[in-house]
Amino acid sequence: MHEYLDQIFVLLQHRLMDYLPAAWQPLCGVLLGVVAIVCLFPALFALTTVFERKGLARIQNRIGPNRVGPFGLLQPIADGIKSLTKEDIVPLSADAAVHFLAPVVLVVTVFMGFAVLPMGRNMVLVDMDAGLLFYFAMGASTELAVFMAGWSSRNKYSLMGAMRAVAQMISYEVVLLLSSVTVVMMTGSLSLTKIVEAQNHYSWGLPHWFIFTPWGCAGFVMYAIAATAETNRSPFDLPEGESELVAGYHTEYSGFKFALFFLGEYLAMFSISGLGTTLFLGGWSAPLASLNWIPSWLWFFSKLMMSIFVFIWMRGTLPRLRQDQLMNFAWKFVLPMCLLNLMVAALWRFLGDGWLRWVLCSAILVVAYAGMGLNELRRKQIGPRRYRYAE
């Protein structure tokens, strides 16, 4: 029974394909998968907007939206109608074509990333050998869309927002890649399905997820930091810092184009959480061997939603960084730690089984973290602010 439930979507696709002539089957099979993804994730986005608003409200001891529909669950429909009926303003001096293309390019490239994510056992749209590479290539093109939006608007706030966004995304792209490379070093494959398979075995009922190794844990933390910065989420939401730049690169967008940027941001969040899940949290595999009867896709999506919750939780907690702090953090702290983590991963690989590699790898990472952190703190003057002239 659980085998059947686990494969229910795959079987459904095969059943539907049987009605078509054999020549059409590959094309239509892929199209069906695309339609499923294109319907599912925007629906998830709609739900997430409500949950984010409600979650943030609860973090601030408020109630949150609860007027439209039961518990306010129909709020996204109201928001959708609102953004569809709003006037679509294109500035007179804007480059109309690029201005129109930017949100489309953003959403399309973000959607492309989902193509290689394994969302359950046998549930991957395109099982590419270089899936991870494809994912990062697509992830990098969102920067193009962001810059198109900022540049074509012909507005200094848009342009500044876009510049900040691109600077930030390129800086953290490096961290994102380097923290993922450790996983590739361990599994020896760029294929995301193979990466999940490598984590999908158990000893004493516990899974071999990469997060449960010293290098994987450090890698996951750095991946999470970089993912937050990549998706322009708080505390790294400088590109749209409402208090400094009106709304960043999408200042000049209104109506549904603005909604597309919003959609793009959330879809990027989903896909980067999905990739993080795949790389470090065992993808669709169950957290305990005894829980394997629960369908694999349910595990994938529950892990995804947990990551989204952490995103929202961080947004409700942390204040926005300053631009120089952001850059210093990326280049002076996270990047060296990433490079060190590569060394540690190599050490882990060649020390072989045994307790020694656990102790050694953990010790190196902890000492480096504490050392670099304390060194940073020593240079910083923490305490009440002193004024040179005002006293």
- List interacting residues with another protein (CB under 8 A): 55, 58-63, 66, 313-314, 316-318, 369-370, 373-374, 377
Q: In terms of CB distance, is 55 or 120 closer to another protein?
A: 55
Q: In terms of CB distance, is 27 or 310 closer to another protein?
A: 310
Q: Are 117 and 111 in contact (CB under 8 A)?
A: no
Q: In terms of CB distance, is 28 or 314 closer to another protein?
A: 314
Query: Nearest approach, Cβ of 313 to another protein (angstroms)?
Result: 6
Query: Nearest approach, Cβ of 68 to another protein (angstroms)?
Result: 14
Q: Are 172 and 229 in contact (CB under 8 A)?
A: yes
Q: In terms of CB distance, is 188 or 373 closer to another protein?
A: 373
Bridge partners, residue 206, by sequence: 203
Query: Nearest approach, Cβ of 373 to another protein (angstroms)?
Result: 4
Query: Nearest approach, Cβ of 59 to another protein (angstroms)?
Result: 5
User: Which tokens in the block code for residue 211?
Assistant: 């997060």
Q: In terms of CB distance, is 55 or 283 closer to another protein?
A: 55
Q: In terms of CB distance, is 77 or 374 closer to another protein?
A: 374
Query: Nearest approach, Cβ of 306 to another protein (angstroms)?
Result: 14
Q: In terms of CB distance, is 40 or 314 closer to another protein?
A: 314
Query: Nearest approach, Cβ of 66 to another protein (angstroms)?
Result: 8
Q: What residue type is assigned to position 151 of the chain? A: W
What length does the chain have?
Answer: 391
Query: Nearest approach, Cβ of 317 to another protein (angstroms)?
Result: 4
